[in-house]
Each structure stands twice: as structure tokens, then as C-alpha cells.
Structure 1
Amino acid sequence: MEINIIRGQNQIGGSIIEISSESTKIILDIGSNLEDKEIVVPEIDGLFKGEAKYDGVLISHYHSDHVGLATRILPDIPIYMGEKSYEIHKVSNEYMEREYLKEPKVFKVEEEFLIGDIKITPYLCDHSAFDAYMFLLDYEGKKILYTGDFRSNGRKSFEPLLRKLPKVDVLIIEGTNLSNNKIGKINLTERELEKKGIEILEGNDRPVFVLMAGTNIDRIVTLYKIANATKRLFLIDTYVGVITDTIGGNIPNPRTFSNVRIFLMNQDKYEILKNYPQNKIGKNEIANSNFMMCIRSSMKQYLENRSKEFSFEGCVLFYSMWEGYKKQENMKEFLEFMEEKGVKTISLHTSGHADEKDFDKLIKKIEPEIIIPVHTENSEWFKRYENCEVIYDKNIIKI
């Protein structure tokens, strides 16, 4: 097999990785660059232009730096995605009136399938995206494991996954958290985050706002548990409502969880609100409730209107996102706006990516001969694994 890191080596995000045998070509993830304000399509012949030369594209999860260019590939190339991952991709983009994939091929956990002569096994892993996967690729006895994005600190146990993974020849691994300021740091678990949030709110009877990504499902579970423990209604807008309702099951959602209430931020989405007659909540009831409300920086005007109905003084804002977003102008303005209203901002976040102990456990279990770091700005860190060849300075690797 041949591995071609088209993009994603020595950078975070924008992953495009080619795996090929003599007769089959596969792409692992097809992400847009994180820093691109508008989608920029690379000039890749046979993938985005010309005659199709690829047999399939595997998508590990729905974050834009892994799926952002999927709608731009040639229509004859099949795209493979996890069932729930696709549903979240579809409903979130549909809600935002953005382009999304139409009817990709759906795979199931640990069910082997073939693309050409390469056997694929998808393994469910933990990440800040729901239904995220690692991929094992097997051709004539040669095995490659691509981790996508993963971690061990969420609500799925890491150990059962490790037990299932075989020894491999090549490991293509993310290293997002290996920037210099994170070396040596161990992630808080979601359960530790839950405990921390409850402790922070002890004795506080004021409403709580949470700034977070609406597709971070593990975090929604954590916050719901904090709201319940501190006797607050858990409020979500129609965007988060359709996402959680799509997943259903034991994920807090406005259809089956009585303590989850859904509110309307945008009148254009009123038809969505009508789907939840038992759990919808209006502005007057919000003003007279003790609640935890999931918000985004785009909700400034909505919150300005609520602050006219009740005082925000003494309220808490849990900042539950990557700290780097605070440097962005719109985020700065939003946090200043909340501070001016008397709201205290407290960081309550943990990473969606692996830390050093996760790398150690994974590499010890699968014993790769070659490690290819991607999705990182510190590939050299992996040189610590002396029994492995670490490759990050060339794009094409043959095995």
C-alpha cells in the first residue's frame, strides 16, 4: 500500500489523506482548513476536478476540518459515514441553510466492508463529536490504523476499544494537544467536569448561561447533569433541540426529557418549536425560572432582550469551548457584553482530543512499526517512541 498525506501533516485540521493499493484509491477525511474564512477547494485531479480517480472517501466525524469539502468532490465518488454522524451533519447544516451531503453510504460499528480490494473496519471512538470513528485498513496482510480525532476522557470507556484493536504496521495519528503549552497536561474527564460545575454553583441560585458548541453531545450530557443536580431547568434553543432529538435515546432532548425545555430564538424556526408542545418554554416562563441556558455568541440580541425582562446581575457564564476562540473579535465582544450585564465568566471545559497518556496506551497496544503524525503542529513529539519509525517530513510512504 501507499500512503499520501495530501494535507494535514504539520498542521491542525484540513485533513486529506490518500491510501492506495495497486487497484484501489481511498481518501481518509476531506476537511476544510480551520483558518479559511471561505471554503477553498484544493486543485486535486480526480477528486475535485476532471475524471473521478478515487473509489471512496471515508469520513471519521462531522467536524468541518474533517468533512468540510465533502460536498465539493466529484459526484461519482462514494462517501462513507457513520449513521448518527451523518444525521447530525445533515440536520445541523439544514438548520443553518448550508449545503450538506445527500445520501452517503452508511457503515456500522465494527462491520467490515470492502472498498475495492481494501478491507475497512470502523471502530467507534470517543471525541467531542458524537459517533466518531477510527478506521482500520487491511490489504494483503498490511494494516493501517487511522485514528481520526479521539480521546479517553469522555463518557465512553477507552479500554474496551484498546482491547479490540490489533497490532498494525502503520499508525496515522492525531496530535492536536501537543502544542507546547499543553505538553504534560492531562485532560479532565467529563465526569470531573460535572463535579467541578456542581461545586462552582453551590449556594448560587441565579441563572446560568453556557457558551458551547451545539454539536458537542458529551458536553450537553455533562451540563444537563449539572443542571439537574443544582435544580435548574435545562434550556436549549431549536438548533440544539433538533440535534439532540435526532440522536434521541439517553441523550437529553426536548422530546422525552421533562427537564429539557426548548426556546425560540428566531421566529423563522417557529415550525420546529411546534414539534415539542409539552417542552417548549416562552420568554415569560424563562424570566421566572431558575435555569441553565445553552447559548452561542450569535445570540447577543436575544440575550439583550431577556436582560430587559430580568436582571443578569450575579449570573454565571460557563465558557465551555477552546480558549483560542476568545481571541476572535466576535467572541471578545460577546464576553464583554455579558460582563457589562453583571455576568461572571468561568471556564468549564475539557479537550475533545487525546492527551499524552492516551497516545502511550494506544501505541503500546497496537505496536506500530511506523507512526505518521497528522493534525498536529508538534510531530517531533512522537520520536519518544524509539521502537517506531516516525515520519512527518515526507508526503508519500510505501509499506
Structure 2
Amino acid sequence: MASDGRPQRDAREANLRVLRDCLAAGPMAQVELAAVSKLSEATVSNLVRILVEQGHVHVEPGIRNGRRTRILSLRDRPAPWYLGIEIARTRVRVAAVGHGADPAVHAAEIPVPCAYSQALDTVVELVRGLDEGRGLSPARLAGAVVAVPGLVRATSEGAAPDLLGEGYHQAMGWGSVPLTRDLAEALGTEVTVENDCNLAALAEMHAGAGRGHRDFMYVLGHAYVGGGLVLNGRIYRGGGGVAGEFGHTVVDSGGKSCWCGGRGCLETVVGEAALVEAAGEGRVGRPRDLAQVVSGALAGDARCRAAITDAGTAIGSVIGAVATPLDLRLAVIGGPLTGAGRLLLDAVRARLTAYVGQLHPSTTAVAIAELGDEAPVRGAALAAARQAAAPG
């Protein structure tokens, strides 16, 4: 007996509901819809045409990763938007996504030291500026992620979305503060908190030096040294939420003491204080900060160049130690240290080649991050949208 086609129609209706449910989280490109729904791109293309013909979905031009694309949204509900926030030692940044465009970033400097209440007020003022400048209604804010320096521990093993903000912020000297609770009350939406380097790695994977790579490591060289580890297209946090803290990998067992309690950590060689000390030891007119070490190296100052080369060698050792057992094909380096350019990269690559030897010759590429200082807040906005769009 010939089939009446009912199973096919039922399957199609089920898949149409899946797409509508995914789009309920907010507008997205068709390729993003396929990834979230776990349907093939060909199936999604056919189903989107049906949803458009039925009047359920609106299509408008937009931009993703700097490229023009089609952005899909449901017609029967206002489009939500998502917020990324970064609270750093000297600045606050916010970025909004959800209207089919790459995030627009607003920033404000804050004093050092900065009171906790003043930092929160600065966040609210910047978000209000987004509301006024882009027509983003507070009522449609559907989630926020805040990027912070320092350790952010998961509440339980594998509980990545439920991260604790309490006690994270050593750089600010705030001690234990209910950051997620206070920001949620001020903004009227759910807020989660994540390590800034993890979010920078996420942003680089989405729109920077990590595009096209599902497995890579990210190392940030700044006042402190942090990092993030991307495995199978996702941030890997480990059992307690603090994987990727490459700054506390030992590179010299007899080296200087580190604030973490260890000795000879990467941060004791590559952190800003260490580089300033190395470049200025025993001389008049020593560099005051990392920017001056980098500019001195580029100008040919021998001690500044030696400090940068030593930093690159230490970073190369850590990349080799991580990339070799995990068979990573890319390492991305971010932060102001990368202003030294080839001087830094040559030292990293030389040490990496010597470290890896014949086991994986020339398999780990080293690249400079592309998104600069805005990477953490861009990653935070992306994470907020992804959390809302994730099934279940």
C-alpha cells in the first residue's frame, strides 16, 4: 500500500517547531541556526523558506564576522538582545549583540583603586548609553555575561553556566562581593560571570585569529599572564572551572616566588612587573611599564630586546608543554606584549621547535590575537547569546 506521506509531514512539522524554538532566543544567521538546531544546513534552508512563506520568520541583511549574511528572526515577538560586560582594573566595557550586527563596544575609564559601587554605576551608565544610542529596550535584554580577571570557579563539576563572582577580583581588592546578584538586580536580567581570558579565546575563535579552528590555546601577556583552552569548539574549564591558567605553569623550578605560592611560574618571567624589572635592572631611566619595554625593544634597546626574547622563550616552553600532548595545531598570543611582533614570535617559535623536536614537527602554528583589548567584552556578549540559544 502506498504511503500517504504522514511520517514525512510529521517530521517536517517537528523540525519547524525546533527552528521556531531556536529563533525564540533571538535573531541568528542561517548557519548559526543549523548549528544550534543540529539539523543539516540543507534541511534548515528548506525549512526556513517554508517559515518565511508562512509569515513566521523575517529575513533581513546583517553582518557576522565582518561579512554580509541573512539574519533570521521571528515575526511574532520583539527581538531580544544580549549584553557583554568587562570589568578590568582601569576600565569598564559593555557590548550588545542581537540585532544582526557585530557588537558595538562602549567603554569608560575608572579610577585606581575603584570602589565596587562606582564600578557597578559605571556599568549601568554605559548600558543606558547603549539603550539610547541603539534603541535597545531594557525590557528586551535577555541575558548578560561579565568578564573578570582572575579565577572564576564553577559551583560544581561541569556546571559551566553557573559561575561564582564572589571573591574573584584580586586586582580590585574588593574581597568577596555578590557581583552576579548585584548586576542582575541593576540590569533586570540573568547575569553569569566568566574569566576574561576564556571569553577572549571564545571571541578569537568566533571572529579573530582562531577562526576555523576548534582546538587551540590562548595566552594573554599583560600585567598578569592568563589563558584559555578551546577543545572541540568549546571553552574547556576543567573540573573546577579554572583550566587554562597558563600563567602559573612552572618554567623555572628555581625561579622567583610567585604570588600564587609557587616558584618560577610563567607570570614571574612574562608578567609586566617581571619584564620591567628585567629590562631596567641596574640602569638609569628604566622602563616604567610594559608599553615602554616593548617600545624600547622595537627601538633597539638591548636589555628590552633581551627581556622580550626571554619572555618569548618562556611562552614557547608553555605552548610546547600544552600543545604537544593535546596535539593542538594553533596557539594564539594576546595582550600588549604582542606589540613586539616578530621579535616575540621568533623567540616563541624557536623554543617551540626545540621543545617539540621530531614528535610533531612544525604542527603548532603561533599567531597574534586579532581583536585586541576588546576581545573579552566581545566574547562576553557572544557567550550571553549562546547561553540563551543553547537547547535545554
TM-score, normalised to structure 1, is 0.30
Larger radius of gyration: 2
TM-score, normalised to structure 2, is 0.30
